[in-house]
Structure 1
Amino acid sequence: MLETTETVRSEYEPVQGRIAWIEQFTDQDKLYVISLPDDVELDHDPGQFVELFVPGVGEAPFSISSSPTKDGPLELCIRAVGNVTRALDSMEGGDPLGIRGPYGTGFDPEALAGDDLLFVAGGIGLAPLRSMINYALDRSGEFGDLTTLYGCKEPAEQLFPEELQRWDDSEEMAFYETVDQCPEDQTWEGREGVITELIPEAEFDPETTTALVCGPPVMYRFVIESLQEQGLADDHIYLSLERNMHCGRGLCGHCQINELYVCVDGPVFNYPEVRDKSEAEV
């Protein structure tokens, strides 16, 4: 939970932060950089989320995009699709926000230590995976080979473009990128095709590799099948499932998958945990 230097706050009491700055990536997607009070530490794991409160509107859960290896403001990549996010879309630097959390079960860097890591991110799914990707890059000596696959529908939907270029230029991580297609009114010199087409091309050893996957629900089944075809065992696959989360504490039931609650038991699951859950749709 968010803590001050003197006391642990109630989990239902938001900390007041302020928007430090905003970076727009697409027509719907923005990066919100949020400063917290000097005496507050987020202390999150990669893959966790926070509840973001917009005064006068309400609150909603959002994945943390920043790595715990970085001090400073909190970073959230948010798509404007609902009441809270549309209200956010009209806000500016200096505006106040409330923050609760962090919540949920994220990726466990200690459990992944020594593994080769294969990140598979589709669309907005890059937002939560970015936290673990940058964690692994900042502490590359703790892991084996690093590989990231990223796909989006078209070039205009690309997130973190400058960072993607740094990853592409990096000697510490192999980076593969594709778009489903490039409309005639856009420019793209990279690959066209779905993200699963990248998996056979990525050079990884299934015996030593763990895959971390996040993207739209329709993507999971095909990505999992492709990883299995490359010899990756089911228990070497982790999924970040963030559908329908609301309260963040397993009280409202919006995110329930059979007997599991995504906001508490996840959002990160080892694939065998949800493999046979009909409501998981993976």
Structure 2
Amino acid sequence: GVKDYVDLTLQKGERQRFWDSCMFYEFSRVAMDHIFMPDREARVKQRLYHKLTYYQQQFEAPGCVGCGRCVYTCIKHIDPVDIVAKIQADPNPEKEVKLYTPPEKKVKPELDPWEPQKAVIKSIKQQTPDVRTYTFAFVDPKVQEAYTYDPGVFNMISVFGIGESAISISSCADLKGVFQHTIRAVGNVTNALAELKEGDIVGIRGPFGFGWPVEEMKGKDVLLVAGGIGLAPLRPVIKYIQARRDQYGKFDILYGSRTPEGLLFTDEYDEWRKIPDTRLHLTVDMVPPGVEWGHNIGVVTTLFNKISVDKDNAVVVTCGPDIMMKFVVLDLLKRGWSPEQIYVSLERRMSCGVKKCGNCQMGPVFVCQDGPVFRYADIMDLPGGVF
């Protein structure tokens, strides 16, 4: 692995290289300290499939030149040749991996994806005690005029001298002249962003990734299921459907939060309820003493009995904590929905945004470029599990 240590002036620093090993428990650590491959054998297979298959698939270049360095440095002296021979000797090997072919990219950034563009904070709106919606505009009017994006994609936001973070866009491209991000202050970059004021400058790279399948959803009912901050990447879907209401069928919005105080975009709920043939259902895990609450209490799946869309002609879009999406998917599958109908957003740790650093890799998938939105049927069999 490689770690860069740079001082705040960005004028000097050092790069440290270190050996990592699939023998170690933390080899598959991703966002929020989630270890998606706790089993050692699975980590070994993941490393070898990446070297011999996934790298070739993603970059059209060999991931192994046969030098033997990996065997020499491996603390267990594992020889990939022996493992491949064993796999080939098994007449019926278990299907433990699945190749992933990402869809063709239709819209690519017009600008250099490595170079941040200056953007000014036009306004800041407090959503909850730790969540704010920032309205940005590029300093260069030509950049702003050319900037467009699909619902569900993300930008890399830089706070100069601190770092950058991948954040989903929470506005719809129909909003001209500006764009919005709804951000929770939880890390170095987002906490630094929380200290900025209107008129301050940040860096923006993007947009990156594949978003929600709004074109495929046309002519169908839509079930939107969100939890907590997961409503932010789904808000563009609501805005998009609202502006093109005659192109979609019934629309159910199910949104859950831990407490009423944690609900986002509360000032927009009345507007959403006025969208023709649209139903908004709210739920919270608990209600603090003295707080009035006239809606459901329980996890978001307790709202599923209120679903009015036609299961046989509908698409599901869901975003939230991994544990929430896991049970949303499981419950829907039990109710007869198919994996082909369900789309999820995998908000795993992303760093570079152009599938070079490997921080967001999950089996053959780079979330930053192949996602963050995926059809569940395409990723349900990936090694290590999706959630």
TM-score range, shorter chain: over 0.9
Aligned to 1:200: 305
Give the distance between the partners of 1:221 and 1:25, measured in 2 at CA: 26
Corresponding residue of 2:117: 15
- d(CA) in 2 for partners of 1:127 and 1:280? 25
Counterpart residue identity of residue 238, structure 2: I
CA contact (8 A) 1:50 1:62 kept: yes
* Amino acid across the alignment from 2:206: G
Q: Which has the higher helix share?
A: 2
Structure 1 Cα separation of the partners of residues 273 and 286 of structure 2: 20
Name which of structure 1's ranges 67-76 and 115-124 shifts more when overlaid on structure 2.
67-76
Match of 1:44 among 149, 167, 171: 149
Deviation per CA, 1:132-159, whole angstroms, max 9, x where unpaired? 1211111112211111110000011011
Q: Verify the 8 A CA contact 1:52 1:100 in the aligned structure 2.
A: yes
Q: Does 1:89 align with 2:181?
A: no
User: 2:202 aligned with 1:100, yes or no?
Assistant: no
After alignment, is 220-229 or 113-122 more displaced? Answer: 220-229
Output the CA distance in 1 between the equivalents of 2:249 and 2:317. 14
- TM-score normalised by L of structure 1: 0.94
Residue number among 249, 260, 272 corresponding to 2:365 in the alignment: 260
- C-alpha change, 1:68 and 1:280, in structure 2 (3 Å) is farther
Structure 1, 226-235 or 190-199: larger mean CA deviation = 226-235
Displacement after TM superposition at 1:243 (Å) = 1.4
2:338 to 219, 223, 233: 233
User: In 2 relative to 1, CA 280–96 (structure 1 residues): closer, same or farther, beyond 3 Å?
Assistant: farther
Aligned to 1:127: 232
1:114 counterpart residue number: 219
In 1, Cα distance between equivalents of 2:174 and 2:122: 19
The aligned residue for residue 24 of structure 1 is: 126
State the 1:278 CA deviation: 3.7
SS in 1 for 2:233: helix
Query: Which residue identity lines up with residue 271 of structure 1 in the other structure?
Result: Y
1:98-145 deviation digits (Å, cap 9, x = unpaired): 111000111232222111111100101001011112111111122111
- Conserved in 2, the CA contact under 8 Å of 1:206 and 1:233? no
Structure 1: runs of 5 or more not aligned: none
Distance in 1 (CA, whole Å) between partners of 2:314 and 2:222 is 6
Which deviations, in whole Å up to 9, do the C-alpha atoms of 1:26-75 show, x marking residues without a partner?
Answer: 12110011112322232101110000111111111100000122213110
Deviation at 1:2, TM superposition (A): 8.4
| Residue of structure 2 equivalent to 1:177 | 282
Task: Tell whether the 8 Å contact from 1:137 to 1:172 is kept in structure 2 after alignment.
Answer: no
Q: d(CA) in 2 for partners of 1:56 and 1:14?
A: 13
The one-letter amino acid of 1:84's match is: V
- 64, 70, 73: which one pairs with 2:169? 64
Secondary structure at the counterpart of residue 112 of structure 1: coil
Write the distance in 2 (CA, Å) between the matches of 1:33 and 1:20. Answer: 5
Q: Secondary structure at the match of 1:144?
A: coil
Q: CA RMSD in A?
A: 1.6
Between structures 1 and 2, the one with greater strand share: 1
Q: Cα 1:279–1:163, aligned 2, differ >3 Å: closer, same or farther?
A: farther
Structure 2 unpaired stretches of 5+ = 1-106
Partner in structure 2 of residue 210 of structure 1: 315
How many positions carry a matched residue from both structures? 278
Q: CA 1:272/1:130 → structure 2, altered by over 3 Å: closer, same or farther?
A: same
Aligned to 2:180: 75
State the distance in 1 between where 2:108 and 2:358 align: 24
CA contact (8 A) 2:173 2:179 kept: no
Determine the C-alpha separation between the residues in 1 that align with 2:245 and 2:215.
Answer: 13
Runs of 4+ that moved beyond 4 A: none
C-alpha distance in 1 between matches for 2:108 and 2:289: 47
Tell me, yes or no, if the aligned pair for 1:121 and 1:150 is still in contact at 8 Å.
Answer: yes
1:209, 1:232 within 8 Å by CA — same for their partners in 2? no
TM-score, length of structure 2 as denominator length: 0.69
Q: Deviations over 1:191-210 (max 9, x none)?
A: 21110011122112111010
Rounded Cα–Cα distance in structure 1 between residues aligned with 2:168 and 2:188? 17
Residue identity matched to 2:141: D
